[in-house]
Chain A
């Protein structure tokens, strides 16, 4: 039996990271942004039924960029984790922090142990009750986790979006303002017009009790975005 070639751990990790990065770079981008009355999630998504943004729990939402089948599994696992925890303890005990940690562990383990890393990048966002700070976590393909303030971007043009939003984002935007800013950022990053029917938008509304997640219809988007011109 021939001995397998020796590959140094550094080389292996580098190769995997490059592979994952390439996979993610092919996909479209997603922006999460805080506004005065909640959290806004905007994804460029031509499909009306294959969602990139989803509700996880009462005040927590999920967004995934990269390979659909892979982040879809992560999304389902997150819903199962959150519902089990909320049923065993209390609804308030389900937090974005513990969920983001669980995601980070899972994605990190796959990255170091499996042949093929997950080609995904995900966002876990939680809208807080009145007066408390929102939470916004970004988890990369290797399981590294970071918490962001104000806004976060993932996917193919994540870097361009971050650069654009760094200058333009300000605290206390209203919902329409945040939506317009996110759309402008996507247009700047892709240097193309973004049509409302190619956007998937959802919000977590701070003031609501129980489930705060709501999707915005294409008509609502049209009305808000038409207000810019």
Chain B
């Protein structure tokens, strides 16, 4: 029977429950790399990673998006991996880093939030969710030191205050709120540059989705670890919206159309430049 001062009582946290009852299932179980020969250590460090994930605020809430490619050294290990996950009805998480621990952390985080809500009879506050994720990233630090890095972006809508929020994290679990947009992963810098030029406050939903896709396509053009829209196989970035009404998936057909529009626009700009008999570079000069 739990009481106020029982040191073994796990309270309302599933993460703590797992650590106490099934430590073998905790993703942060420490890997021992010291005993392994050099070659195997290198292999482990080259487990799939490389990503672009981003989030930006707009009029009704927050857009969160990510590409679909996972790489393994110079090879593509998956073209349709998911990096953006539902956390609960009003929040979502996108994760960059090594695929295995990333997916596991997203899954654990979703269970954590639902577990708390069921035990306590009410959901965690947005601040509470962001804080909990911070502790989980911090617990992963020993693995991160060995190369198994997990870096999330967390977005949520606070129905009580009527606003969406973006939280970014660093390796040590440090949590920082972004007020406009943010991107991370191997193509994060390109995506951030793209959004820097295109971002405007209070955009409409369609414009915000457009900016997210422009940024992802730019990142895919410059970064080998990021996959662009794949019209042949029909694989497109994942986009979710966090708004007052809850978490919404943007349907794939809509993402496909938006990608097509961006690619068409870029192709026609290229053709115009070519028709004048000038290169794009001279035109700019």
Contacts and interface: CB of A to CB of B under 8 A. Distances in A.
Do A and B interact? yes
Contact of A84 (B2, B21, B121): B21
A211 to B, nearest CB: 7
A73 interface: yes
Nearest to B114: A211
Nearest to B88: A211
Contacts of A87: 14, 18, 25, 107-108, 111
A83 B115 contact: yes
Interface string B117-154: 01101000000000000000000000000000000000
B30 to A, nearest CB: 20
B278 to A, nearest CB: 55
A79 interface: yes
A54 interface: yes
Label chain B's interface by main secondary structure: helix
A51 B121 contact: yes
A79 B118 contact: yes
B31 interface: no
B224 interface: no
B17 interface: yes
A83 B14 contact: yes
Nearest to A213: B118
Interface range on chain A: under 10, 10 to 19, 20 to 34, or 35 or more?
10 to 19
B4 to A, nearest CB: 13
A83 B121 contact: no
A46 B14 CA distance: 31
A79 B22 contact: no
B275 interface: no
A87 B118 CA distance: 15
B17 A54 contact: no
B18 A54 contact: no
Given A51-B121, A55-B118, A56-B118, A83 B17 contact: yes
B201 interface: no
Nearest to B121: A51
A23 interface: no
A193 B22 CA distance: 49
A83 B18 CA distance: 10
A76 B119 contact: yes
A168 B22 CA distance: 48
B1 interface: yes
A73 to B, nearest CB: 6
A19 to B, nearest CB: 19
Contacts of B118: 54-56, 79, 83
A49 B122 CA distance: 10
A150 interface: no
Interface string B13-24: 010011001100
A56 B121 CA distance: 11
B18 A84 contact: yes
A132 interface: no
B111 A86 contact: yes
Would you list the 3 A-B pairs with minimal beta carbon distance, nearest first? A79-B118, A83-B115, A55-B118
21 contacts: A49-B121, A54-B121, A55-B118, A73-B1, A79-B118, A79-B119, A80-B115, A83-B17, A83-B111, A83-B114, A83-B115, A84-B17, A84-B18, A84-B21, A86-B111, A87-B14, A87-B18, A87-B107, A87-B108, A87-B111, A88-B22
